[in-house]
Amino acid sequence: MKKILSVLMMVVLMATTLLTGCGQKAETQGASEAVQANASGSQKELQKMNIGYLASPEHLLYFVAKEKGFFEEEGIDANLFLFTNSAEGLNATIAKKVDVGSFGVSAPLVFTAKGADIQVIGGQNSGACALVCMPDRYDELKDINNYKGKKVATVRLSTADVIFRGALIDAGIDYRKGDAEIIELESPAATMEALKKGTVDAALIWTPYVAMAEDQGVKIGMYITDLFENNVCCRQAVLGSELEANPERWESFMAALIKAYDFYMTNHEETVEITSKYVKVDKKYLDKETYDADATMVCSPDPLRNSTLKYWDIMKKTGFIESELDIDEHINTDVYKKALDRMISEYPDNENYKALLNDFEMNNI
């Protein structure tokens, strides 16, 4: 009981620091009918599932799976609930108010390190983060080795924040000893504003602010993928007890996201249109962030086990986590693999599913 209370108290304390996306608190996007017609024309009851999301294009797999009926096809009556930040969403997961959500990668790992019963069963996205500077500083600040003595605005424990701090240490710039100054602010909008006011040398941001950067008069100095190739970001986090109780339910959930991935890869305009219903940003930025050739955001249900293990090591190196826990015990790749194998069996000619299998073998074994 003391361990559970400790975890819940920590969630509350972190609620103002793990900001991702924008929007209003715990707002449902509506429910689907509780029955579904199968191939024989009969009806079968759908399993209700509450899914937490953040108002970001990074979460488009949820939006597509909901709007295109992929959850229903997999026997799930999905209700999407909007949260303002990752800690708030993880709090709801631990309290069983939602069944699953993609609340960053830092939050589930920190809570797991403190004793939370969290299992990562899949992914949502990678990339999508960048460091920006003023155009006249680009030649200097495009190189991580030039950040000694610099001030950088960040949102504490955001994906970009953790990776950038780790990269500074690797470059021999120990911000903990004053080699560089990390200015912690509440949102990517605030970090961008600090840069434009000249109070910092550079700022860490993420989607959709990355797509907006040039229109805001700033320049992308480096993408987070320059510092951590194939970096891990939002993960599908569920309670271990819920996973153990009904693994088939979660295989169906991941199958719906795999179908959504296929749609996102093959239906450009409609995917942007669907995303715009949940993310109130100009569609040109959603389009640019999602499909532009220079964009680094990749939405994929792959668990990215290997990258998650690397991220855990970075969190330990930067002091965000002090734990001897084997985090690999909290990453379940079997659920996703079984769902993917079924999709390939049902659609053997689908090139996107074949590509996901190739990615899985590279990223998880």
Top-tier CATH class for 129-227: alpha beta
| pLDDT, average across residues 166-191 | 97
Residue 91 CB neighbour total at 10 angstroms: 24
Residues 288/211, Cβ–Cβ less than 8 Å: yes
Phi-psi region of 5 (alpha: psi -120 to 50; beta: other; left: phi over 0): alpha
The residues pairing with 154 across neighbouring beta strands, listed in sequence order, are 184
Confidence grade of residue 294 (pLDDT, cut at 50, 70, 90): confident
Q: How far apart are the first and last CA of the chain?
A: 36
Map out the domains of the chain as residue ranges. 2-127+231-364, 129-227
Q: Give the model confidence (pLDDT) of 112-133 as tens digits.
A: 999 999 999 999 999 999 999 9
Residues 239/191, Cβ–Cβ less than 8 Å: no
How buried is residue 207: exposed, middle or buried, by Cβ count under 10 Å (0-12/13-18/19+)? Answer: buried
7-19 core/surface letters (b: 16 or more CB in 10 A; e: else): bbebbeebbebbb
| pLDDT, average across residues 295-313 | 97
Which phi and psi angles does 262 have, rounded to 5°? -60, -40
| pLDDT, average across residues 84-98 | 93
Residues 102/222, Cβ–Cβ less than 8 Å: no
3-state secondary structure of 115: coil
Q: Is the peptide bond before 108 cis (omega within 30 degrees of 0)?
A: no
What local confidence, expressed as pLDDT, does residue 295 receive?
87
Of the listed ranges 83-92, 201-210, 346-355, the least confidently predicted one is 83-92
Top-tier CATH class for 2-127+231-364: alpha beta
Q: Do 2-127+231-364 and 129-227 have matching folds?
A: yes
Per-residue tokens: 60: 């488009």
Confidence grade of residue 43 (pLDDT, cut at 50, 70, 90): low
Closest C-alpha to 254, from 110, 33, 49: 49
Distance CA 136, CA 138 (A): 6
Distance CA 338, CA 273 (A): 31
